[in-house]
Structure 1
Amino acid sequence: MPYVKRNHEGNIIALTSVKDSDDDEYLPTTSPEVVAFLGMEPDQDEALRALRESDSELARVAEDIIQVLIEKQVILFTDLPDAVQQKLVSRQKLRSLLNQEGTSLLNEDDLL
């Protein structure tokens, strides 16, 4: 994505996720023409991408902090809301499964 439709002057007039005709041209979403058509400044686009990428990293940081607090007995696992407990247990099981299969998401220095 996206395929671009151009007018007779060569300007982008529409973006689609599928190629509708032989005239449609594929451009990467980071293309300056696509960014301009969507009305986003290139800096905004880059900032949004970086923010999305940091979301998973921040989730891992929060997980590690919770683990450290539990290990140091600052909080009890049972002090956490049920939904949080379930998510943490689920993620630990997934990591354990991946580690058993030899596919580790963790670096050697990572907690958990």
Structure 2
Amino acid sequence: MFYIKRNAAGEIVTLSKEASNEATEQIAVDDPQVLAFLASEPGSKANFLASDLAFVRVVEDLMEVLLDKGVISFTDLPQAAQNKVMQRKSLRAKNNVNLIGEDGGII
């Protein structure tokens, strides 16, 4: 989770890993608003970070589909990958996050 501050128009103007006096609203790391904010930051590595976060989400969903269809088995993955997959599944379950839809929104 991140903590954000919004302007009068409801746009994110501050993003932080920790709560502060200004950034008190919580938002999911993979929320499209967070990605849009990161991508809009000029002169930083934020564009790459936003792209990486979005791509990680695509890879997660792809793995889920391959596992569900039996194309690959969970035990085919190295132990470290299995641990990371289980951590992400747990986070997604706790935050009620499902697959990405064709329009990029959560379904």
The TM-score with structure 2 as length reference comes to 0.49
Which has the larger helix fraction?
1
With normalisation by structure 1, the TM-score equals 0.47
Which structure: larger Rg? 1
